[in-house]
Amino acid sequence: MLTAENPMGNSIESHPKRERLKPRRAPYWVRILPKRFLGYRKSTIGGGTWIAKYEQHGSTPRREKVLGHESEIDSFEEADLRARAWFGELDAKSPDSHQATVADACQAYVDAMYRQARFKTGDDAARMFARYVKATEFGQTQLSELSAPITQAWFDNLMTSAPADPERRRAARATANRKLASVRAALNHAYRALSWVSSDRGWTPVRPHGSLVKRDNPVKQRDAAFLAKPERQRLLACLKPDLADFCRALLLSGARPGEIAKLRVGDYNAATGELHVPFDTKVGGRTIIVSSQMRELVERCACARSVSAPLFARADGRVWTNDAWKRPFKRAVRKAELDPRVVPYCLRHTAITEFILAGIDSAIVAAWAGTSVRMIEQTYGHFRSETISRLVDRVSLL
């Protein structure tokens, strides 16, 4: 990657390429996140040292940290993982949680999106925050002083210049809702992940504008989200091998796409058949017992790979992101002649539906899927009723 301190774009991502680098005092830097760099200082006596560099916004000075010698950290992937962990520690410590503002929470959220390789989400949020939050009185409000009326006033202000035309006003309300969703996500991150504020009362009561568009029939939406077995098989057959394995993992685990993307080889315990699903924005990490089919898939994908490598990686070894799977998945949906509304999340819905139809207890399904029993009952209650009826019919009472 070309940077001011690595003008020739010398790669440090593989051992053979690092071997060809000329020894020098200045590290060879690679940007792994905005204002976050991983460097490699080539030694004159062989090998080299991994270094992380942190350049934060505002007045925070640049910081560097020696991660370790190449003899201790033998792969770029492991060095990248350690650098990101350090960046996360620094982001959590700055600014002081007692003085953190809404704008600080928004910046921390953008940084978190970049660390998770959710670049489009981070870019979109950064642009919105810069225009509608950071320079406003709302943005400068300290989280400790934030209240629902303050957040509501900011949200209402987004509609002060809305057009009178009904269609254009509906579009403006939808845009305002998206801005509120981004701000809520940032504040929830500050509350849940960073502990910068003691409660979410300052924004949770603020609700988005009501129904803006005519929705499809709920039954039709549910039908589109569930894929029958022949449809699943057609879809998998139309996907390239790397994305097909990613989608098989969704079907066999019922996990969220983002959770599967975050899995590392080291998250799987071959001795016990347990898979640790890492922290997600909605729930904490959890450990699940995998099925025999999932075990076979995991062990095939993990074979001969380092513990820090992505468990379900793209063909080039990189982590799956929404931007990476979106287009090839859509092409496969068209080729398989499926409903165009089908997205990867539908595979999670399909898996949970099959678990419920198989008679697995809602509490077990909820724990497996990383959600609540209440949500399972609300979303899949109609399937639960069918399953109970079928099971009761098996019992001979008279």
Q: Could you read off the pLDDT of 388-398 as tens digits, one per residue? A: 555 545 545 54
Higher pLDDT pick, 210 / 255: 255
pLDDT number for residue 58: 43
pLDDT number for residue 3: 45
pLDDT number for residue 223: 45
95-110: pLDDT as tens digits: 555 578 999 999 989 8
First-to-final CA distance of the chain: 76
pLDDT number for residue 187: 94
Block residue for tokens 């925050």: 129
60-78: pLDDT as tens digits: 457 888 888 888 888 898 8
Distance CA 176, CA 184 (A): 12
- Classify 293 in phi/psi space as left (phi over 0), alpha (psi -120 to 50) or beta: alpha
127-142: pLDDT as tens digits: 999 999 998 999 999 9
pTM above 0.85, yes or no: no
160-201: pLDDT as tens digits: 876 777 777 788 888 899 999 999 999 998 888 877 888 888
Candidates 3.40.50.620, 1.10.10.10, 3.30.160.390, 3.90.1150.110; CATH matching 15-93: 3.30.160.390
Domain ranges (residues) in the chain: 15-93, 102-192, 220-393
Strands (E), the chain: 28-33, 36-42, 48-54, 63-69, 268-269, 274-277, 286-289
Higher pLDDT pick, 388 / 202: 202
Average pLDDT over residues 261-265: 92
CATH number for the domain running over 220-393 = 1.10.443.10
Average pLDDT, the chain: 82
